[in-house]
Amino acid sequence: MGERCGWCGTDPLYVAYHDDEWGVPERDSRALFEKLVLDGFQAGLSWYTILRKRENFRAAFAGFDPDVIAGWGEPDVVRLLGDAGIVRHRGKIEAAIGNARAWQQIESDGGFAAFVWSAVDGRPVQRELTALAQVPATDPRTDALSRRLKRAGFRFCGPTIVYAFAQAVGMFNDHLLTCPAHARCAALA
């Protein structure tokens, strides 16, 4: 058995995220919405910060049900700004609400999962990385997806955020070749 990707360290929460979620192909539209919103909240912060607060986010954001969130307005923004269990940033909260509305439109026009996965022609890209320094910060395919998301009305979805999202939801298998998760994720492709 090889070594895990070094970025996850030894914290049990982060190790479990690495081993069980990161890089596993996700095709559920709602789960993809949740991950993209959480990646938007991560902007300027570490993913570990968001991961530790994820259950609080799920409670505060109605289980990340876009159909519920899309109906929210200023009273909900104020409520969320008062919730110490999440990242309290007005712009990110307002973006999450707007993103839910954009998600609804995409979902009704053929599905959010299909929209997102079309960036890689529906199949995970299998990388053969041997060092963390080889892991890119962006990719032309996710740069294009970022632009498409923005045109559809999404915010907090720049190229770096969208690439991190794509890695996490298995569109790119960026586990190192020496990591046991690489083969597990490749088998799911």
Average pLDDT over residues 148-152: 98
Rounded CA gap, 117 and 124, in Å? 9
- Closest C-alpha to 22, from 145, 158, 181: 181
pLDDT at position 75, please?
Answer: 98
CB count, 10 Å around CB of 150? 15
Question: How far from 73 is each of 128, 152, 183, CA to CA, in Å?
Answer: 45, 20, 44
Instruction: Quote the pTM value.
Output: 0.96
Q: Categorize the per-residue pLDDT at 1 as very low, low, confident or very high, splitting at 50, 70 and 90.
A: low
Token pair 């058995």 in the structure block, residue:
1
Rounded CA gap, 115 and 154, in Å? 13
Average pLDDT over residues 111-126: 98
pLDDT at position 2, please?
Answer: 78
pLDDT at position 159, please?
Answer: 97
Task: Give the gyration radius of the chain's Cα atoms.
Answer: 16
Rounded CA gap, 151 and 26, in Å? 23
- Closest C-alpha to 30, from 108, 112, 135, 137: 112
CB 182 within 8 A of CB 18: no
Average pLDDT over residues 113-136: 97
Average pLDDT over residues 12-16: 96
Q: What are phi and psi of 125, to 5 degrees?
A: -85, 125
Average pLDDT over residues 2-27: 95
Average pLDDT over residues 88-107: 98
Average pLDDT over residues 22-42: 98
Q: Categorize the per-residue pLDDT at 189 as very low, low, confident or very high, splitting at 50, 70 and 90.
A: confident
Rounded CA gap, 184 and 182, in Å? 6
Average pLDDT over residues 25-32: 98
Q: What are phi and psi of 111, to 5 degrees?
A: 105, 135
Rounded CA gap, 144 and 165, in Å? 14
Average per-residue pLDDT for the chain = 97
